[in-house]
Chain A
């Protein structure tokens, strides 16, 4: 059923064809590479050799790339670590961000301006590699999964998005709750959070995707391979045998990965994010716009 208002004219055939073509092209630009990744990951060496690289037209299915990826418990262990970090990290991040954003959204809260200023400063200045490393090792977090979570636990952008949304909640609602005897915790828990589910879902998604994709902190702080998250492990599959240009690596006799393995890696990395996305997608526009136009 059309949702066009009655006063608008019917689109012309040319306009509709143009729009359809454009949409088709945009969709194809997304679908075709993904298709090729999945088909290549399921192709045999011979098929890939014949294609000279990425395969678009499947010739039989070969699961050997996935078999070799999951031959040891390396990938499953890393998936487990990533799930723990993502779920634990997101829960912690959301808790901290909601609390901070709520505090900063209430006019007259303690050190409100100074704290907001300090949060905003982190927008402009990263801490830098060496100070971060000194802090994390100084706190005794080396070789601890918390080193993947705590340094990135609160993100200033997400904080501002949430704060802007909270500030937009009518003051009357909160006042009436107060009259009924609600304290700050109850106001937050029973009034503000239920009204902000959409934006919290989106911020949670931002955090979760961030934790899921992060690998650099793991490179810096985790030395036991059993603690490595999935992105680091999968990256190592991709980079196997790839020396810097002009350097010939000696010694190694472990065969480099096939293109099928590399593409299986891409599939394994991307699919969990693709599964989560549709569930929170509907909240996206609303939440992101809130952050963009309020401040």
Chain B
């Protein structure tokens, strides 16, 4: 090929690329689902086992002991024994063997009366997979979508085109045919409305809280320290706990939690209404104060050096090893880490600090009661098949205290678990190999916090914290409104996060923050403000 031709090709491609990279045009959309009460299912609780510790919703109640007898809640098989129901779902972990090679699936499919055949995808790349299968209109009978993936482009359109309208199957009293689904709270169903139609079955969140600030109670006790009640006390703790010569630092990267301490808004990614005006967190004085405080922790070397370079560089291992004593994390991993660590360190004790505000005033807690997953049923399967699938989802939603719950959660006794002295199932390697949240993520269950002798006092500790935190959950002015965020705003998130990282780590001076905010406004921030203001008034 001649040089001139090659140059021509390069020119052509540059032109074409310029055409391809024009500004995305999605300016976002919102639907107010508060106004759609008429199509929501009737709420009818299932009270099979009384909780020992009641916590106001959306936090989950606690059960201190395992029931001595389990209730057989669903006596007729929902399945008709026909062709397998194909399910696309996701998991974070190894993919268990498929149908025919998995005793866990066999046991539950026998109860369902129909085979469910799962294609389990990696949770971290699921949005790519969803984008491809939705665009290609290549969906299986059932599709599970996590709430944070419902912002992929043109998702509402895909819902209308590809998935069954479940309104007639579930609205009002119709849901009573599926009593376990009827026990889901109205708030969870509200989120399942797309385009005025009830389009999905929710996975009710048992954990509306974004973060907990975990500390190593065993280390605190040994040093005679107590959890802080103000930002200043947290700072003093940092000083007392950091002994870099001994390889100990006080903190992991706690940037997000510090924002909560300083009452920075967290709704819809950090928006609030201030005197009728919509404001983003990065514009607020609270955020500036949080930035200053976090930057001080980094500057005075109270944060483990590994986490200065990379905020995710094995913070969990550093916490387990006692190299850091305070760490922000979701509550979801608590029980597992606690159970696992007790095996090698009997003194190990981790607790989230009771929530507090920087000045000792009433705290603010970030949280949302949006379902974690949505389960959609493919359009055009026919009334009978859709009802069969809803029957299976009803089975999967059986609550704690039922035989169905135990089978779904732990598999079959003698195969996947043996019973401990407190009757709590103790799972084995077969379970670890075959369980991948297959039926769990599909329709969830009414939330419950349960423990066992392998995690002593966990249920009490958990519910004590949630009871203290739940009343301080920030009121979301946009509650009940579903969003498809404008593309420009969505694209701003990552660069802004990176700039926050740079500022708290001292790579950019704090004084630069003002100009960063100005750039943010110009590049889509103001557009986002208008979008959220409009949604509020719609």
Question: Taking beta carbons and an 8 Å cutoff, which residues of A are in contact with B?
Answer: 45-46, 48-53, 71-72, 74, 113, 116-117, 120-121, 124-125, 129-130, 133-134, 137, 142, 216, 219-220, 223-226, 228, 232-233, 235-237, 239-256, 259, 295
Contacts and interface: CB of A to CB of B under 8 A. Distances in A.
B344 A45 contact: yes
Those 4 A-B pairs whose CB atoms lie nearest each other, nearest first: A248-B332, A223-B119, A248-B330, A240-B93
B98 A237 contact: no
Contacts of A130: 131-132, 135-136
Given A225-B97, A253-B410, 6 more contacts: A48-B321, A74-B97, A242-B92, A249-B92, A249-B330, A253-B427
Contacts of B1: 113, 116-117, 120, 295
B141 to A, nearest CB: 13
A255 B428 CA distance: 11
B87 to A, nearest CB: 10
Contacts of A220: 128-129, 132
A188 B264 CA distance: 70
Given A133-B136, A236-B122, A250 B94 contact: no
B5 to A, nearest CB: 8
Interface stretch (B47-55, B178-186, B431-439, B530-538): B431-439
Nearest to A71: B429
Interface stretch (B37-45, B204-212, B287-295): B204-212
Contact of A53 (B123, B138, B256, B321): B321
A49 B210 CA distance: 27
B256 A243 contact: no
Nearest to B256: A246
B124 interface: yes
Nearest to B334: A248
A231 B246 CA distance: 38
A129 B317 contact: no
Nearest to B212: A248
Given A52-B247, A125-B16, A239 B93 contact: yes
B523 interface: no
Given A241-B92, A243-B330, A252-B93, A46 B344 contact: yes
Interface string B76-104: 00000000000010001111111001000
B144 to A, nearest CB: 12
Contacts of B5: 113, 117
Nearest to A218: B122
A32 to B, nearest CB: 16
Interface in B352-392: 372
A241 B330 contact: no
A50 B246 CA distance: 12
B211 A246 contact: yes
Contacts of A295: 1, 6
Contacts of A237: 93-94
30 contacts: A46-B344, A48-B317, A51-B321, A72-B433, A121-B9, A124-B13, A124-B17, A216-B128, A219-B121, A219-B129, A225-B96, A236-B93, A237-B93, A239-B124, A241-B93, A244-B123, A246-B211, A246-B330, A247-B148, A247-B330, A247-B332, A248-B332, A250-B203, A250-B440, A252-B336, A252-B437, A253-B435, A254-B431, A256-B333, A295-B1
A113 B205 CA distance: 60
Contacts of B210: 246
A244 to B, nearest CB: 6
Interface size bracket, B side: 35 or more
B340 A133 contact: no
B411 to A, nearest CB: 11
B314 interface: yes
Contacts of A134: 135-136
Interface in B394-415: 409-410
B92 A225 contact: no
A53 B136 contact: no
B320 interface: yes
A253 B131 contact: no
A295 B289 CA distance: 58
A185 to B, nearest CB: 25
Contacts of B93: 236-237, 239-241, 252, 254
A244 B333 CA distance: 12
B333 A248 contact: yes
Contact of A117 (B9, B119, B429): B9
Contacts of B96: 225
A50 B321 CA distance: 6
The CB with the most chain A CB atoms within 10 A, among B93, B321, B330, is that of B93
Contacts of A224: 98, 119
A134 B146 CA distance: 24
A159 to B, nearest CB: 12
B444 A250 contact: yes
Given A48-B317, A254-B93, A255-B340, A249 B247 contact: no
A226 B101 CA distance: 10
B323 interface: yes
Contacts of B440: 250-252
A13 B272 CA distance: 68
A172 B306 CA distance: 62
Interface in B421-451: 427, 429, 431-433, 435-437, 440-441, 444
A130 B138 CA distance: 11
Interface string B185-223: 000000000000000000101110111000000000000
Contacts of B372: 247, 250
A193 B428 CA distance: 56
B321 A243 contact: no
A49 B341 CA distance: 10
B70 interface: no
Nearest to B319: A52
Contacts of A121: 9, 13
Contact of B336 (A133, A233, A253): A253
A244 B330 CA distance: 10
A142 B17 CA distance: 30
A96 to B, nearest CB: 20
B488 interface: no
Interface string B134-164: 0110100000001010000000000000000
Contacts of A116: 1
Contact of B432 (A113, A236, A254, A259): A254
A129 B333 contact: no
Contacts of B75: none
Interface string B305-326: 0100000001011101111000
B69 interface: no
Contacts of A250: 203, 205-207, 332, 372, 440, 444
A120 B9 contact: yes
A251 B9 CA distance: 54
Contact of B323 (A52, A129, A137, A243): A52
Contacts of A49: 320-321, 344-345
A230 to B, nearest CB: 12
Contacts of B205: 250
B129 to A, nearest CB: 6
